[in-house]
Structure 1
Amino acid sequence: MGYAFDLDDVAFLRSPAGAEAVAVVAQRPLTADSRLADVAAARAAAGARFAGAVLETAVLRGRAESKLDGAGQWLFTADSLQQATTAAVARHRARRLTGRAVHDVTCSIGADLREVALVAERCIGSDLDEVRLAMARHNLTADGSSAGLVRADALRPTSTGTTIVADPARRDGTGRRRWNPADLVPPLDALLDVHAGRDMVVKCAPGLDFDAIPDHAEVEIVSLAGQVREAAVWLGDLAEHGVRRRATVLRAGGAPDELTDQAPDECPVLDVGQWIVDPDGAVVRAGLVRHYAARHGLGQLDPRIAYLTGDAPPPGIRAFRVIDHGKYAEKTLRALLRDHDVGRLEIMTRGVDVDPDALRRRLKPRGSTEATVIITRVGSTPRAYLCRAERT
């Protein structure tokens, strides 16, 4: 849960004295081993009343550096930082809102609102949590962004003529993700009912149940640097006509790679070729594996498994050059690793009941080279493929 900030904490943190105290504490190790000394330093810098707020802010800013631009000046609670959209993902989503009047009805600390404010004609942010609103006011001011901020319930419309942005809470009190749209706060169906007929985008967890999404909506699964980050549900004129599923792959320094269910999906089932390709998680989660295969001239090893194969992998990805393969058996695989002098071993599995970590311990590879073993099912037969991972 983290430290429970109040409005007095936020006011102090926004003051010159608060900013100086956080800067001093941020120089501390801020580790579990240094906790007692860090607390003492926070008390010396800020006094007993605000020591907890200062220490928590210094810790959270450190965690946020890889997630939010300019995090060294921001204010957050632990929960709001955990849910905040990574800057690159928020920036991608905001592009589809360019030139619009936008109302972020669950703005929290302003992570999404900041990116929207840079491209929108005008924007408003609202939230029920007064502390988070105060933090958002500070964060937007620190970043030079401009947005109106008001206290309001996302389920009680307070603007007209605006495009709605919503990011309902997706974790319960234990920190576990909520996968059922009815368990979101506020619930997805309630948001859609209240704002029916409005152009709208709702950020959800990537494990979203597609069956719970209206037929007229577009669901976009977004990954960043190989990790699936979110599902965005687009409605109204924001949804591309005819598109129900979209996979967007974001990589540092490159344009987004997008694929939709309107692309061709004819691809063959093939015997293994020179390469095996494991599509990005956004492609797999969006159910667009066949579309990806068709785009890149690949085939499936098995029609029910997401591993693809061919003699030329797509450019710019990590693919697996096949060295040897055969039916999977531990004894056979152990001999194969010995024959190829493999000592550093990555194990990937799909469609089989194999624990990679437990298998690696049993295999005990002791060679001098590195390899990847892909274990999967082809038809009803488990098969193992010894590969070299390469960046294409």
Structure 2
Amino acid sequence: MKITIVGGGSSAHTLIPMLSHCGHEVSLLTQRPNSWGSTVTMQVRDVDNVTVQSLTGRLARAAADPAAVIPEADIIVLCLPVHQYRNMLHQIAPHVSRRKKQWIGCIYGQAGVNWMIREIIRKFRLEMTGYFAFGLLPWICRIEAYGHCGINYGPKTTNVAAVYPRSDFAWLNECFFQDICFRYFGRGAVRQAENFLSLTLSADNQIIHPARCYGLFRRYGDHWNSEEAIPYFYRDFDEESADILQRLDDEYSLVRNRIIARFPGSDFQYMLNYLELEKLSYHSCNTDIRQSFVESKTLHHIKPPVVFEKNRWTLDKNHRFFRDDINYGLCIAKWFADQLDIPTPMIDIILQWAKTIRSESYSLEKGLAIPEADRNGFSYGIPPVYGLESIDQVIAEEQ
């Protein structure tokens, strides 16, 4: 098949060799087409960061113009920060085919991706378009040399994906899903989630990153005077950060459990809390949140996202840990909680903190409120920006 990857992030550096290895023709839409070589190599590394095998694949073309790589694609895969999904979908939508079936999706889909794609389907009359989303990235990956080489630290044991229409899952799994993990690693088979909401409300990055960033702020204030003083993001995960994460997950669970009880006819078996999701993804036996980070060798060397300004190091407030995981993560959970009259004191604390340090426009005085002017932008991912004003409408959107 012809597959177009949109965005040149870490996952693109793994997808290109994987898909090319399986015989697909892979193209890339990127702002930096001249930075990409005609071949891309994936180095598979062990927990000691030693390369144990490698795979090289061919990139058929890289282009900055959607017209060059979107119309003829069979599958279009977003490999971007989550907060860029919606804007990019509107950029590529005029070039999506109306003559044949195309699939649009992502391999990280915890942000209401189905709402975004259905929005462009309606706006641009893309009735033949199907869509999909993985709950989590199928592997841990990094960039070694942009446009030329990526690092892969191995796959998850099990992946979960939602597909619309649901009946097409088996075909898409055979023709595409297995090619991005299972056929190479022999692990990472994909299970079908019956709805996208299960992916959106299964908490992972949306609670990990805000919890740790706020925990760092609580412990160290808003800066470090030297780079050496900056703690590791995961290796130094402290008890306060773990407690914040647990409190966030507990509030998500209140939302999840209320939705499960309210809609007994829907299948939410893959709407999971943090440790349940880790157990499914890695067959992990962890029962301690902090331990799961401190003992992870693949996350061992990661530092917090920081910038150097005014002769000191500060958290990068424009990083995806804020723009993805708060604006397209915690804000979504907060909206659902408001609809269900569930108090969320820990989510509120972090949203208020983010509002202060990032000058966010939302209000928390009577539940989460987004100014009308921002509903037409791409800053936030709550259902009302897509015209979904109730949970009943959200569930109906899955049908």
Same fold at TM > 0.5: no
Return the TM-score normalized by structure 1: 0.32
Return the TM-score normalized by structure 2: 0.31
Hey, which of these two has a bigger chunk of helix by percent?
A: 2
